[in-house]
Structure 1
């Protein structure tokens, strides 16, 4: 979007005040010809020494509901854009080729099959570039709490759910510190996230496989099977109801439980 992007004008002002020369150019990174023209315009003036690919878009849906358009819209700026940058700069002497991946390719992927796939592609591209002797670092970041990018579309409920899952958002300062640390490593892929091990151990759902070593399940002594709390009350509620009334009563009970787990204030937020 060039200077039409939110905050672009202010960012240019800050960078120029710090002594940088800045040029903002609108470019569709999913189009190879546009990426090639962008790079050619840079190298015509001075050598290109570094690339940071930070494009991304979200369009969430469960896997069986994803459309071809949703896959294209999300994969294009990330996967296509990164690949074209890789191709058109392959012969240049770069000091850094940084790909902003996401922890969404590893954990927290509910409803983000297209986004997860796009980010895993970036991780694989970094591996491939390193194998070819080219610089590359893919950083699978957690959410940055900066009020911009994909984070601006998350609700307070989304943020609370991420925190209870053990992967809270990164502050601006923490994100920059981890970015610098990632550049200093000699690894093609790093995962700069903040893991709350206490929250991981408190999760009531299944902990993602990649995080289980950070929060081993506590050993529990064998116990006799007991009737779940509230089961008797539910049974009493259902006695005397018709089949249709029973279905409605159980549906409302399940919606209420799901709403509570997801952090919603009302069962109405969970569709039947």
Structure 2
């Protein structure tokens, strides 16, 4: 039952060329950066990555992207990663974009053993009709386009059929975890982490604080350990390394004696 591994290299052991990964995080919030760096050091390539976005240039999944390790990305947001946009438009990477809620439910359904579900998101668009560019050719034409999906009416409203997602591995980050793999996430850093963890056949969690079994209140557990196979305890420095994607500050109040 003790799922703790001694190092990041041990945590990502077995992730080889061609593997598929579900990765938690949103922008740079809740990203399993230590595991991603360990996977970069491992040298695995030709990866299929399922994540909301591909991090920023050089940060998070952007580290693997810049090294040409990602062959296919499934997500909902290209974001402000200029290298991701460049590779997509140059035909160097295959990208399947989908509504954000659809991505979340496809991951959750995969982890719950549900093969497919109907959703109104995307009806009447290329999401349902097909033709979304998955890969561009070097000349800018569409080399691979999305296929049409089944659309069915329920109660007089149309819904599109979406298939669930499961992956070989999942990489997630949690605020607290115990040796059995039970995880607690911190506020917005929960984001896609529980869903990604559910979808992975082998789920690896990096935790900022490791506690012993029984220390977590069962009612406080966000993800039960049945979904987690490996746990990596971060160092204090690794746990504190939380870069901010966009820093916005409010102008300070006027000093005494100054006008408003």
TM-score, normalization by structure 2: 0.30
> TM-score when scaled to structure 1?
0.29
> Where is the strand percentage greater, Structure 1 or Structure 2?
2
Tell me which protein shows more helix as a share of its residues.
1
Q: Which has the higher contact order (CA 8 A, sep 6+)?
A: 2
